[in-house]
A and B are shown apart, each in its own frame.
Chain A
Amino acid sequence: MTTLNSTRLKPTWTLAGNSLLILMALSVFLPFFWLSLGSFKTGAQLNNPALLLFKPTLENWKEVLRSGVLESAYRSATVGLVTVSLSVVIGSMGAYAISRYKTGGSSTRFGILAAQVLPPAVLVFPFLEVSYKFRLNDTLFAVIISHLSFVLPVITWFLIGFFDAAPKEVEEQALVDGLSRFQAFRKVVIPQVAPGIGAAAVFGFVLSWNDLFYALILAPGNSATLPVKIASFNTFRGVELGAMCAAILVAVIPVLIVSFFIQKRLVRGISGGAVKY
Chain B
Amino acid sequence: MASISLKQIQKSFGEVEVVKGLDLEIPNGQFTVLVGPSGCGKTTTLRMIAGLETVDSGVIQIGDKDVTKLEPKDRDVAMVFQNYALYAHLSVADNIGFPLRSKGVKKEEISSRVAEVAASLGISELLKRKPKELSGGQQQRVAIGRAIIRNPQVFLFDEPLSNLDAKLRLEMRTEIIRLQRRLGTTAVYVTHDQEEAMTLSDVMVVMKDGVIKQLGKPDDIYKKPVDVFVAEFVGSPKMNLVKGHASAGNFTAQSGFQIKVDPKLSGEITLGIRPEDVKITNKDASSTQGKVEILEQLGPRAILTIQSGNQQITAVVDNENLKQITDKTNISINSHLEDHHYFETSTGKRLN
Point out residues on A near B: beta carbons under 8 Å.
Answer: 167, 169-170, 172-180, 183, 188, 191-192, 194
Contact = CB atoms under 8 A, between A and B. Distances in A.
Contacts of B82: 169
Interface string B77-104: 1110111011111000000001100110
B6 interface: no
Contact of A172 (B75, B81, B102): B81
A175 B51 contact: yes
A188 B82 CA distance: 18
Interface residues of B, number: 24
B43 to A, nearest CB: 12
A170 B79 CA distance: 11
A175 B89 contact: no
Output the residue of A175, A177, A183 with the most chain B CB within 10 A.
Answer: A177
Given A172-B52, A172-B81, A173-B79, A178 B99 contact: yes
Contacts, number: 61
B192 interface: no
Main secondary structure on chain A at its contact with chain B? Answer: helix
B333 interface: no
Given A172-B52, A173-B79, A175-B52, A180 B73 contact: yes
Contacts of B73: 175-180
B83 A169 contact: yes
Nearest to A171: B85
Contacts of A188: 87
5 shortest interchain CB distances as A-B pairs: A178-B102, A169-B85, A173-B85, A191-B89, A175-B72
29 contacts: A167-B83, A169-B82, A170-B85, A170-B87, A172-B79, A172-B81, A172-B85, A173-B81, A173-B85, A173-B87, A174-B98, A174-B102, A175-B51, A175-B73, A176-B50, A176-B51, A176-B72, A176-B79, A177-B78, A177-B102, A177-B146, A178-B73, A179-B102, A180-B71, A180-B73, A183-B102, A191-B87, A192-B88, A192-B89
B52 A176 contact: yes
A188 B87 CA distance: 7
A194 B90 CA distance: 13
B133 to A, nearest CB: 17
A177 B156 CA distance: 12
Contacts of B72: 172, 175-176
Contacts of A172: 50, 52, 72, 79, 81, 85
A47 B73 CA distance: 72
B103 A169 contact: no
A172 B85 CA distance: 9
Contacts of A169: 81-83, 85
A174 B87 CA distance: 9
Nearest to A194: B89
A191 B86 CA distance: 13
Interface in B311-338: none
Nearest to A187: B102
B333 to A, nearest CB: 49
Given A176-B77, A177-B102, 7 more contacts: A172-B81, A172-B85, A175-B73, A176-B72, A176-B75, A176-B79, A179-B102
